[in-house]
Structure 1
Amino acid sequence: MVAPLSAWPWEHLGIFKYILYGPLAAKAWYSWMYEDNILKDLWCIHILLICTLRGFIHQLWSSYNNMFFLTRNRWIKQQGVDFKQIDDEWDWDNFIILQAMLASMACLIFPSLNTLPLWNLKGFIASLLLHVTISEPLYYWAHRFFHKPYLFNHYHSLHHSSPVPHPFTAGHATPLEHLVLCAVIGIPITGSILMGYGSTAMIYGHVLVFDFFRCLGHSNAEVVPHEVFNKLPLLRYFIYTPTYHSLHHTEMETNFCLFMPLFDALGNTLNTKSLELHKKITSDSGKNGRVPDFVFLAHVVDIMSAMHAPFALRSFASTPFCMRMFLLPFWPLTFIIMLVMWGWSKTFLFSFYNLRGRLHQTWVVPRFGFQYFLPFATKGINKHIEEAILRADRLGVKVISLAALN
């Protein structure tokens, strides 16, 4: 028997789950077109905008994690995200739909939420204090509770099934867990409003900063330099790092905190390896990692296929390439990026995989297919290819293979 609230009610809808945003969009459109008081249903637009920004934050973190040419020397776990994990985390954004529904209910029940001022500094201070004093300890103890055998087996094990932390892993959990997270994120907002300090900016700020730090903790690339903690030792108790949270996924009886390791220290669950591992990863970031056994020197085919890169849209990139209409609005931006790559980019690491204990990497010459047929571009392309081959030779790469046009 399936445990209650362990599966999403719209999990079989696929991409059609986004129709659930339809009533909000329709109400906002109707109010704008046919009603005199446009501001009456402004909350619909705010909810849709916040949902969009939340998805954008997760996407930016995902893109950064998949830019191996930037992050390869700061990986926490050396293995890559495999296709199974991508499939399992496909619907990572279900929680955004859930919280949009709850926010809509709150706005309908309490119409006064639509009259909040744009800005109130006291609201930011109040929400921060409520987060530290209520949300952080609440999450800590709820998280520990979810590691009890029944709750872990029926709920929290889904989140821990992802072998490599990724920003999308932050959303990969059951409805019950995200309902608890709704309380964690909602208490500071609700408390600030009840105190009379609520504002639109406070709601936006609290939700988006919350998501930002959730993504940071689930990043597989360390972004916080250890020198920060050397200069400000107490700071290590007030902000976690990707390394800190990754240890929770390998040693699950430690590092339960939301964002503040202080509560792990108070609860005697702080992993003693956290600081040393963090220092090692950040100290080694300037060194070359493992030398690949095989390098395939590729090039970009065309502008449309460039959008199939894993650091663009991870889910789309995990499927065989085909032309999709939703890519067309991104064509001008990709064209500009192509021009920037033409002028300034160098050959970079695009992807990697391990096969029978050997590391295979794909390096990309920053040129598109049509550029190979431009006579004035030949010299620059040859220079990139030569430099890549010489670099591979210096590193000790055993085999290098060239794509057709290279």
Structure 2
Amino acid sequence: MQLPDLSNPFWFIVATVVVFAVVIGRYFLIAGLFYFIFYRWQTVKWQARKINNRKYKEGQFKKEVSWSTITAFIFSITGAAMGLAWQKGWQKIYTDVHAYPLWWLPLSLLIALLLHETYYYWLHRWMHQPKIFRIVHKVHHDSNITSPWTAFSFHPLEGLLQAVFLPALLLVMPMHLYVLIVHLTIMTFSSVINHLDIEVYPKGFHKNTFGRWLIGATHHSLHHKQFKHNYGLYFTFWDKWKKTESPVFEKLFEEKAGRR
């Protein structure tokens, strides 16, 4: 893929604007889709699966969108910087699907997701230290009851800490461009579902072979209420291993997922 020379300030700004449009567009598309389906067009079934019955704070959605827009801007600068680093040969992004064995495509995605989970779990626990929390993480927790718009609602410092993971990983691990896009899309979908405050997974999902390792709305909603449990991003394995999973998660999931 031939890109303009991003070392030229003009083209770097253009790339930043293009990436911003993609990131904020993806945010509005996915978060907006879930918002309209589960909030505006809410059926009795989904209303019964709502985890918190309290009202949202006045102006919460607008604040979340504002913070998310800033986060998207930080992600866009990072994305443009990745493009520049790619041109310089510093990023191991590749476009030729045959440059590595085909089995590397799904394996690289899995490795990236597992490493991202590990990075975020420990970063998240660090951000809950009282002094760090007040500066870096409080903005996100101002959404005590989460919504689809909470997905990227971060303080700029937290947004930056989240943005650096993939560029750092791609310094050492090769990943196809489209696999990278899939990873970013999974990240957005996962974040929106986790902050939905409506349990979309079916009854018993939290105990089956696949579902027991996935985080959903009930799992993450408890984090926003309890603060000291459920630090994961995509998966539950770190919470299970380090015994930070909420002791009331299974009971609450069964209660919400079982409602019709």
Name the TM-score class by shorter chain: 0.7 to 0.9
Question: Distance in 1 between the 2:106 and 2:28 partners?
Answer: 23
Which amino acid is 2:135 matched to? Answer: H
> Matches of 1:161 and 1:46 in 2, distance apart?
27
Deviation at 1:115, TM superposition (A): 8.4
Distance 1:180 1:26, change over 3 A: closer
Between Structure 1 and Structure 2, the one with more strand by share is 1
Of 69, 81, 88, which aligns to 2:56? 81
1:83 partner SS: coil
CA drift of 1:283 comes to 1.0
Structure 1 pair 185–258 and aligned structure 2 pair: CA distance change class (3 A): farther
Listed as ranges, the matches of 1:2-401 within 5 Å are 27=14, 48-49=21-22, 51-70=24-43, 71-91=46-66, 92-111=68-87, 116-117=94-95, 119=97, 121=102, 122-132=104-114, 134-193=115-174, 198-230=175-207, 232=208, 234-284=209-259, 286=260
Deviation at 1:266, TM superposition (A): 1.2
Larger Rg: 1
What do the CA deviations read for 1:49-79 (whole angstroms, capped 9, x no partner)?
4553343222222223323533212111112
* Gap regions ≥5 residues in structure 2: 1-9
Cα deviation, residue 242, structure 1 = 0.3
Give the Cα–Cα distance (whole angstroms) in 2 for the partners of residues 68 and 78 of structure 1: 17
Letter in 1 for 2:143: S
Give 1:99 shift. 1.0
Q: Please, what TM-score do these two structures have when normalized by structure 2?
A: 0.81
Q: Is the 8 A contact 1:76 1:222 kept in 2?
A: yes
Identity percentage of aligned residues: 19
User: Aligned equivalents of 1:148 and 1:117: distance in 2?
Assistant: 41
User: What is the CA distance between 1:163 and its match in structure 2?
Assistant: 2.6
Q: Secondary structure at the match of 2:221?
A: helix
The Cα shift of 1:110 comes to: 2.9
Query: Residues 176 and 226 (structure 1 numbering): CA distance in 2 closer, same or farther, change over 3 Å?
Result: same
Matched positions, count: 242
| Contact kept? 1:185, 1:210, Cα under 8 Å | no
Which structure 1 residue ranges, 5 or more long, are not aligned?
1-22, 29-42, 287-406
Task: Supply the distance in 2 between the matched residues of 1:97 and 1:244 (Cα, whole angstroms).
Answer: 28
Query: Over aligned residues, Cα RMSD in angstroms?
Result: 2.7
Q: Higher relative contact order by CA 8 Å / sep ≥ 6: 1 or 2?
A: 2
Residues 1:183 and 1:189: Cα distance change in structure 2 (over 3 Å):
same
Check whether the contact 2:49–2:256 (CA below 8 A) recurs between aligned residues: yes
